[in-house]
Amino acid sequence: MGPIDSEMGVGMLNAAEDILREEGYAALTSRRVAEYLGVKQRLVYYYFRTMDDLVLESFKRLAIREIGRLREALASDRPLHDVWDICINTSDARLISEFMALANRSEGVRAEVIAFIEESRKIQVSALRRAMARSGSLDKGLSPDVIAFMGTSLALALNREASLGVTRGHRAVKKTIREFFNQLEA
């Protein structure tokens, strides 16, 4: 097996991400990855035993990037705003959607997606819990877990709709979320 962190291994991971983002998971084949890189198809299997292994490593890499961004946001002066900005302005919305579809077909990807969602939700709840405790609203109304779930769901819906060209109500939703966070992070 070739080293995944080598130039070729990273190139294959990049190619897999690009293909998923631009063409969807149905187009992600060893032949397509090899074609994308201008190499022989069998070289893909030198670096990754199966296409599932390539997909899994691609998702792990994305998850590490996104969790890192969320942790940085958690340490900022306005973590709620920064976490929301990451969720709402992700450049990888299409890629994440493709991985979600793949999670329905691969146990390994499903396990990693679950771990990613759990960790990102934990970070979001932590930011909310701290802000709500400072503002005195922790024991009033909705819990941080409920708010984090609703926020993530709203961000996903907004991203999906925006990618289709739907914008009705988006500005009002974003404004309401920002005003809520302004109250908590005043």
119 and 179 fall within a common domain? yes
The answer on pLDDT for 152 being more than 80 is yes
DSSP 26: G
The answer on pLDDT for 20 being more than 90 is yes
The answer on pLDDT for 163 being more than 90 is no
61 and 128 fall within a common domain? yes
pLDDT value at residue 89: 82
Pseudo-torsion of CA 57, 60, 66, 67, nearest 10°? Answer: -160
- pLDDT class for 170, splitting at 50, 70, 90? very high
CATH number at 25 reads: 1.10.10.60
41 and 116 fall within a common domain? no
29 and 63 fall within a common domain? no
This prediction's pTM: 0.86
The answer on pLDDT for 13 being more than 80 is yes
Percentage above 70 pLDDT, the chain: 99
Diameter over CA atoms, the chain: 61
Pseudo-torsion of CA 182, 73, 22, 46, nearest 10°? Answer: -160
19 and 70 fall within a common domain? no
126 and 166 fall within a common domain? yes
90 and 42 fall within a common domain? no
Residue 42 belongs to domain spanning: 1-49
Contacts of residue 91, defined as CB under 8 A and 6 or more positions apart, other chains included, come to none
Q: Dihedral of CA 131/136/138/141: which sign?
A: negative
* Burial of 167 from C-beta contacts in 10 A (0-12 / 13-18 / 19+): exposed
- The model's pLDDT over 59-116, given as tens digits with 9 standing for 90+, comes to 999 999 999 999 999 999 999 999 999 988 876 777 888 898 899 989 999 999 999 9
Domain count, the chain: 2
